[in-house]
Structure 1
Amino acid sequence: MTKEEKEQLKQLKKGAKPGKLAKRDAITGVLFISPWIVGAILFLAYPLITSFRYALNNISITPLGMNFNFVGYGNFTQILLSESDFVTNLIDYVVSTVISVPIIVVFALIISMMLNQKIKGKGFFRLIFFLPVIIVSGPILGMLNAQGAGSITSIDTQAITEAIKGFMPAALATPISKLFENMVTILWYSGVQILIFLSALQKIDRSMYEAAKIDGGSGWECFWKITLPNIKPMILLNIVYTIVFISNNDQNSIIGLIKTAMFSGTEEKGYGYASAMAWLYSVVVLLIVGLFSLVFLAKKDVYEKQVKRAKKAHKKEQRQLKKIERRSARNAKKNAKAAA
């Protein structure tokens, strides 16, 4: 082996092995995320597996324990074919969610941009918009909705409802009219989204706006060219958060149907039937999240090609290292034979 080959071999070995700092950072990262990994296994993966097992069985509770009668996909077919209330509420949920989620996110974006301006009492206004998130939750929200505080009166929305039903089919007109009636409740859901947008807006470099204004850019152009591209990941985050929040809300009629089926006490229904309902509902929620993700998912990073090139170069270096090692081994054998 020549000196040049030895030096090249040393350089490649140094580049292939991670340093002590990189190893320490990797270990620290694993330790930081280990509580989340353990929690996900115990409180997410195990309940999901158990729930799917329940969904494939007809479960009856006896004094001796739970009896499982395997029915396969019978619970799912029974729900889709005979549970008309569940299917109807599921369709209404999909339509209302697809309509209400953009309204909540756009409202949160507008309010966050207003609160990000230099105005007096900015902290007080932020408190006003976030206060419903703390107060209006769980039983309190149910009490307010029961008293009519979370909806606009039918007299005020009657003209809007009649106008919508005049030029739209009933399948779309009914959810949209309900959306206007429950506008107050929908706007109560925007507190967390406003905070997320505020944090994203405050991280945008102000020099970008100054440079755009020097070049003659208007406020509208700054919004489309600077603000919106920088907060696009937060838009997707808020959309996912809003969908999950609406889907898990106690006021959701599908959650009520699942609870009713769980504690019905009949032979046809029970834990297995309710688990099948929950799985169907979860699949629909995931499809809605996937739909919005396809629309708002950020484009590929500009530097992604450079990362791929770096990975290819690293693989090439590894192959060269192996070639040099094999070549040195062959040369060592030849030298040994020559010496013999």
Structure 2
Amino acid sequence: MKLPLPQRNKGYFHYKWKQYGVGYLFMLPWLIGFLALIAFPIVWSLFLSFNKVTLTAKGFIYTWAGMQNFKDAFIVDNEFPVQLILYMQQMLLIIPIIVIFALLVSLLLNQKFPGRFVYRAIFFLPVIFATGQVLTELFAQGAGEIPFMEQYNIDSLVQNNVGGQFVGPVVEVLKRTVIILWYSGVQILIFIAGFQTISKSVYEAVRIDGASPWDSFWKITLPGIVPFISLNLLYTIVDLFTFPLNPVLELVRKNMFNPATGYGYASALAWIYFAIIFVLLAVVSWMFGRSAKRKGGRA
């Protein structure tokens, strides 16, 4: 006998609540904080991006500008598009390097050897100390660069072997080698946690069948941690694109306090930057979501 629609909806709600209710409860504090502290500033900044904001003795004056601020960002402003493209090129090179480096280090730290917990802590220490103002001060003192670039004349070597349009980004990536070390601690821990989800009995079975460690990595380990690779990619994208010394964010701050541009134009720059990051996150999520569906379909 088919149940009435209200009863079916009620039963479906109870089923979903049992399945996802605990997760929603864990998200509740964040949701309350987001609605109370973040939601209004986000909406207000979107409103400002469509206005010319002028500060006077009587307060702020808002003049509707429509899409003009967004057009000026690419047509009138000579600095923002250049800095945006250069920083995007650098980050698109650094992000996969960080994820691959974290994967290789986590493979080593996942092995059984004396003192491995100490080594795990060492790789995670920069996440604790090198944040915010501390990181800014370290870079101001020159701690963020490694002198091997000048010692071994790496600049000329890159210029002779890399295409002209990629010379700048590649050199900047090499100069930010310290960032790769400092910004891989969380990713290493995530990968180590991912390795624990793969049953040891699977490795024992393939070892009995004669599979080498190299075969085990490509056939078992790598497919098993694909969700953690996508998680690390998403985390690294957000982490690096909110980097304290980000030149794009510095331009947003500079225009915010510039009387000629003001809060309206600065908000437009911030929303353009956010839209690009959002598209990049959506593409990564779509790619790994599609691969997960293919894997599930084959299974």
Q: Report the TM-score when normalising by structure 1.
A: 0.79
* Equivalent residue for 2:192, pick from 182, 189, 198: 198
8 Å Cα contact 1:157/1:180 also seen in 2: no
Tell me the equivalent position of 1:310: none
**Number of matched residues?**
296
Q: Rate the CA distance shift 1:42–1:121 in 2: closer, same or farther, 3 A.
A: same
Report percent identity of matched pairs.
37
**1:236 and 2:230 matched:** yes
Q: 1:173 aligns with which of 159, 164, 167?
A: 167
User: 1:301: Cα distance to partner?
Assistant: 6.6
2:150 aligned to which of 150, 155, 161: 155
Unaligned runs of 5+ in 2: none
Q: Deviations 1:30-75 (Å, cap 9, x if unpaired)?
A: 5554333333333443322211100000111234332100011111
SS state of the match for residue 69, structure 1?
strand
User: Out of 269, 274, 277, which is 1:277 matched to?
Assistant: 269
Structure 1 pair 32/251, CA: closer, same or farther in 2 (3 Å)? closer
1:288 to 270, 276, 280: 280
Question: Which stretch of structure 1 is more off in the superposition, 108-117 or 141-150?
Answer: 141-150
Unaligned runs of 5+ in 1: 1-7, 306-340
**Is 1:76 the equivalent of 2:70?**
yes
Structure 1 stretches of 4+ with a deviation exceeding 4 A read 12-17, 19-24, 26-32, 301-305
Q: Distance in 2 between matches of 1:27 and 1:221?
A: 37
Tell me the C-alpha RMSD between the 2 structures. 2.9
Cα distance between partner residues in 1 of 2:13 and 2:138: 59
**DSSP 3-state at the match of 2:108:** helix
Larger Rg over CA atoms = 1
Partner residue in 2 for 1:324: none
CA offset digits 1:51-103 (Å, max 9, x no partner): 11000001112343321000111111111112111111100111111100000
Q: Report SS of the residue matched to 2:211.
A: coil
CA distance in 1 between counterparts of 2:9 and 2:264 reads 53
- Say whether the 8 Å CA contact 1:165–1:173 is kept in structure 2: yes
**Distance (whole Å) between structure 1 residues aligned to residue 16 and residue 38 of structure 2:** 29
Tell me, yes or no, if the aligned pair for 1:157 and 1:181 is still in contact at 8 Å: no
What amino acid sits opposite 1:51 in the alignment? S
- Residue 25 of structure 1 is aligned with which of 4, 15, 18? 18
TM-superposed deviation, 1:209:
0.6
Aligned-pair CA distance for 1:131: 0.4
> Can you list the C-alpha shifts for 1:94-127, whole angstroms capped at 9, x where unaligned?
1111100000001111111111110100111011
Distance 2:191 2:81 in 1: 35
Give the drift of 1:214.
1.1
The 3 A distance-change label for structure 1 pair 226 and 71 is same
Opposite residue 262 of structure 2, the aligned amino acid is G
Partner of residue 46 from structure 2, selected from 39, 45, 52: 52
The alpha-carbon deviation at position 173 of structure 1 amounts to: 1.2
Q: What corresponds to 2:36 in structure 1?
A: 42
Structure 1 contact 243–289 (Cα < 8 Å) conserved = yes
Q: Is the alpha carbon distance of 1:157 and 1:175 closer, same or farther for their aligned partners in structure 2, counting shifts above 3 Å?
A: farther
Q: Displacement of 1:138 after TM fit? A: 1.5
Residue 295 (structure 1) shift: 4.1
TM-score with structure 2 length normalisation? 0.89
